[in-house]
Chain A
Amino acid sequence: MKLSARGLLYLLIGFVLILMLFPFYWILVTSLKTSGEIFSFPPTLFPKGLNWANYLSVFTRQPFHIYLKNSFIVASLTTLFCLLLGSLAAYALARLRFKGKGLILSIVLAVSMFPPIAIVSPLFLMLKHFHLLNTYPALIFPYTTFAMPLTIWILTSFFKQLPAELEEAARVDGCSPMVTFSKILLPLAAPGVFTCAILVFISSWNEFLFALTFTTSNLMRTVPVGITMYPGEYEMPWGTIFAAAALVTIPLIALVLLFQRRIVSGLTAGAVKG
């Protein structure tokens, strides 16, 4: 009896695993099919052969390497700015005594609730006014803003976990707060900083609405917008689209599998204390 309950659980786990992983498998498999095979019904679970041509047409039909480069630059710089501004703020919130902490935290929290669509129109006009449409800053500024709440929460909770004795010791030795921060706290909080970097990078890499509205030149597009540029007027080049999908998804999956624990701890940082 006990054995069958356990068997049932494993069956359930197996089912969930298939549900979670199958679509990713389907992306890979479809990217390796010829269009004849893609349009056949019922679809083949295993491709008849490995057709790599789709991976070539990803780059010849659209400048996909440029989309990748744009995405990479925007996501990296966003991550950098977020960590820079976020770690300063988080240090103050976690370690320094001052009035108004609660207010600042609520302001930051409020931003995480903002619907991006609510500020697209004024931001578009502001960027247009300063001739910033179709530039990297047009994406980096809003991405940094929207990733700031996550950054500040995660870093604040990581800074709070560090033992206070270290700073006391540093203070006794005559270190200023800024030296204590940069020389002692920041290196110790490196795992937290890294976790935060992964999450901010992934969220900027995946962003769609701002990228769609603030970049109109094909050479400034990021991957999520670029990937929607493949469908032709009369045909749906699924093979090419899925090859592109595989190319953006594989690095994400690698990140997820490598840093699984960090990602989970970052996503749930503080959420359990509530």
Chain B
Amino acid sequence: MLGAEARLAWLLVSPALFVIALIAFYPVFRAFLISLQRVQLQFIKFGQPFVGLGNYAQVLTDDRFWNALGNTGLFTFVTVLFEFLLGLLLAVLMNIPLKGRGVLRASVLIPWALTTVVSAIMWQFMYNDQYGIVNALLLRFHLIAEPIIWLGKPSLALISAMIADIWKTTPFMALLLLAGLQVIPADIYEAARIDGTTPLQAFFRITLPLLKPAILVALLFRALDAFRVFDLIFVLTGGGPGNSTETLSLLTYIKLFREFDFGVGSALAVITFICVVLISYVFIKVLGARAGEV
């Protein structure tokens, strides 16, 4: 029997939980069911026969899937690594009491707030091999001898997309880390300084260990975000050239809405979901990210 307070509490949380259950959890379950059927949207009136794990077999034997998984994994690893290193540097910089710190803190919010699609269009324009500013600057400072075809070469296109992502999301990482830096009490540094610790030693022995919880949470959320990258790739390269920048989300979208194959598309969706669960598991159970307290 629930007390009056508990009854009220459940009453208050139930609308939010209902929406989450209906629009997030139930669809995952449905996606799993669809992934066990042959569902071709144009021929849906001819039925949706049960095919067991057939769609999964089709996905797992398709090189295009492994290519997309590889691209997504590489994209996630490289962008999160650089966002972390640059973000940490930026956070430390923003934490130094200097004039103009306020301007810096305000301006790093701009890439964060920018619509991803707009940012992707902007980078596409800046990367253009005929009239883009990126080549113009590199040529101007004699860093390259001839224009680079950033988005037209399979070897460069994914790197170009990574740079665009790092530009946009490093500030967010920096703000999360800055918040972590600000709660480290100043007396610790003071005590360390008196004990003769150099600033560099202090950074590795005090700052980093104390910042670890904030770092893990920031890395977890960035990794999950990078893993589902869609908007940026969709607009910047459309997955090309060839399939060199195709990610899991993009491949899933193509199967669903270009080939209208909801069975295979849903199998891909479920696989993406499982990957995300695995990433979260590694961060929370293995590395000990305490995301529950966010």
Contacts and interface: CB of A to CB of B under 8 A. Distances in A.
Interface of A: 6, 9-10, 12-13, 16-17, 19-21, 23-24, 26-27, 30, 38-43, 85-86, 88-89, 91-93, 96-100, 102, 104-109, 111-126, 141-142, 144-146, 148, 152-153, 177-178, 202, 205-206, 208-209, 212-213, 223-225, 227-228, 238, 241-242, 245, 248-249, 252-253, 255-257, 260, 263-264, 267-268, 270-274
The 9 closest A-B pairs by CB, nearest first: A268-B179, A122-B30, A119-B27, A98-B6, A92-B12, A115-B228, A42-B136, A122-B27, A96-B9
Nearest to A41: B131
B23 interface: yes
Given A96-B9, A115-B276, A238-B125, A274 B30 contact: no
Contacts of A20: 107-108, 110-111, 171
Q: Which of A93, A96, A213, A241 has the most CB of B within 10 A?
A: A96
| Residue with the highest number of chain B CB atoms closer than 10 Å, among A92, A112, A255, A271 | A271
Interface stretch (B57-65, B154-162, B187-195, B250-258): B250-258
Given A118-B28, A118-B270, A121-B262, A148 B20 contact: yes
Interface in B101-122: 103-119, 121-122
Contact of B24 (A85, A119, A267): A119
A146 B23 CA distance: 9
A260 B94 CA distance: 14
Given A16-B93, A38-B131, A141-B23, A121 B16 contact: no
A98 B30 contact: no
B262 A104 contact: no
The dominant DSSP class at the B interface is helix
B66 interface: no
Contacts, number: 287
A163 B225 CA distance: 35
A43 B113 contact: no
Contacts of B131: 38-41, 43
Interface in B251-272: 252-253, 256-257, 262, 265-266, 269-270, 272
Given A118-B269, A141-B23, A274-B213, A93 B13 contact: yes
B69 interface: no
26 contacts: A13-B104, A20-B108, A26-B126, A30-B125, A39-B131, A40-B131, A88-B15, A104-B13, A105-B292, A108-B16, A115-B273, A116-B228, A117-B248, A120-B269, A121-B262, A122-B266, A145-B23, A145-B24, A245-B122, A252-B113, A270-B294, A271-B179, A271-B180, A271-B214, A272-B214, A274-B213
